[in-house]
Amino acid sequence: MSQIPQVSVCFEVNTDRTEPDAVVQQRVHELPVPGLNDVPDGHVLVAISHSSINYKDALAAVAHPGVARKLPLVPGIDAAGTILASKSSRWSEGTPVMISDEAFGTTQDGGWRQVAWVPSEWLLPIPPGLTPAQACGLGTAGITAAWSVRALLDHGSLNREFPLLVTGASGGVGSFAIEILSKRLGQRVIAVTGKPSQEARLLDLGAESVLLRADFEDTTTRSLLSMRWAGGIDTVGSTGLNTLIRSTADAGCVAACGMAGGTDLNLSVYPFILRGVILYGIDCTRYSPSEKTAMWQTLASDWLPQQMLQELEMIGLDEVPDRVFALIENRHSGRCVIELPPI
């Protein structure tokens, strides 16, 4: 068995929520690593080589109470690396793995650290052909896009008269979805974004055209709008999702996977009853390990978004705060992967 390190370099967030004016503390420091006899059977020690920064991670990094369920907290909902020690018969040392669980990076310390003991059921094998950096570059955003595309495929929204629509297109999920739909599945895709500067990039990813959010969203109270879309993927919620549903054609599917624009959804039942529109919610944590493994294999092969992976930005832990605030302030696009220092 490999030697277990005594400490792990990490990026940790803390604040005193009992004080109304408390300042969020962010620091790179060392955490003690439990020994082999200090963790339950069924746990595995992963030497993490890479993690990533999702919008959810950015919220955790500023101690958002809806995401950071405990403090102090090491954020990072995506992580990949190699098994260093195992107390599980399911996993052996030296195996390349990803860590994937709803608690990881929210109620339990996440991937912005060198090593982590985690329950064996949190692990997935890295698909053949993917490096740990690429696995984290895809991460939750990539697999969420894949599940969203699968919903459109399963509910008959592909290869129809109308194009598909993707909202929040400049974000990770939206960008992955555009490339998969257009370049891997040959679909017509219209992108919606609030960032005019991203138009050329979205067209390059395969969007047929780009709509600005202000031009797309309809704030009227009309129950139905003219049919424009065969279906779509919504990453923002609220008015954008409302508009998409009301303008989706008969029997179209809308996959809803985000709420960056709000959690409200004020509309009538008309789109669902009169047009048979399907609203399909996406939560990539609710699938079984076998379903997750199969979808990751599809994402890493037939649906591989090669252009997005070529755009990956690699950073160190000391660069994390700048990227966190860029995400929160809507100044960042594309995918950012953290390289952890080797143990």
Q: Parse the chain into domains and list their residue ranges.
A: 7-126+312-339, 140-281
Q: How many angstroms separate the Cα of 78 from the Cα of each of 9, 48, 54, 132, 296?
A: 17, 10, 8, 11, 14
Q: How many angstroms separate the Cα of 285 from the Cα of each of 140, 146, 289?
A: 9, 13, 10
Encoded tokens for 253: 């599917």
- Residues of the chain above pLDDT 70, percent: 99
Residue for token pair 């709509």: 211
Q: Report the predicted TM-score, pTM, of the whole model to 2 decimal places.
A: 0.94
* Separation between Cα atoms, residue 325 and residue 329, nearest integer Å: 6
* Separation between Cα atoms, residue 219 and residue 130, nearest integer Å: 43
Mean pLDDT to the nearest integer, 87-94: 96
Assess whether pLDDT exceeds 90 at residue 331. no
Containing H/E element for 281? strand 278-281
* Separation between Cα atoms, residue 301 and residue 287, nearest integer Å: 20
Sequence letter at residue 214: A
Tens of pLDDT along 248-307? 999 999 999 999 889 999 999 999 999 999 999 999 988 999 999 999 999 999 999 999
* Separation between Cα atoms, residue 91 and residue 93, nearest integer Å: 7
Q: What is the mean pLDDT of the chain?
A: 95
Q: 99 has which bridge partners?
A: 79, 123
Containing H/E element for 216? helix 213-216
* Separation between Cα atoms, residue 54 and residue 308, nearest integer Å: 15
Containing H/E element for 138? helix 132-154
Residues in Cβ contact with 72 at an 8 Å cutoff, skipping those fewer than 6 apart: 12, 13, 14
Assess whether pLDDT exceeds 80 at residue 333. no
Tens of pLDDT along 179-227? 999 999 999 999 999 999 999 999 999 999 999 999 999 999 999 999 9
Mean pLDDT to the nearest integer, 50-76: 95
Task: Specify whether the CB–CB gap between 132 and 197 falls below 8 A.
Answer: no
> What's the pLDDT band for 1 if we cut at 50, 70, 90?
low
Whether the domain at 7-126+312-339 and the domain at 140-281 fall into the same CATH topology:
no
> Top-level CATH class of 7-126+312-339?
alpha beta
**Angle formed at CA 188 by CA 186 and CA 191, multiple of 5 degrees:** 125
* Separation between Cα atoms, residue 255 and residue 241, nearest integer Å: 9
Could you say which of 3.90.1170.50, 3.40.50.410, 3.40.50.720, 3.40.50.300 is the CATH number of the domain covering 140-281?
A: 3.40.50.720
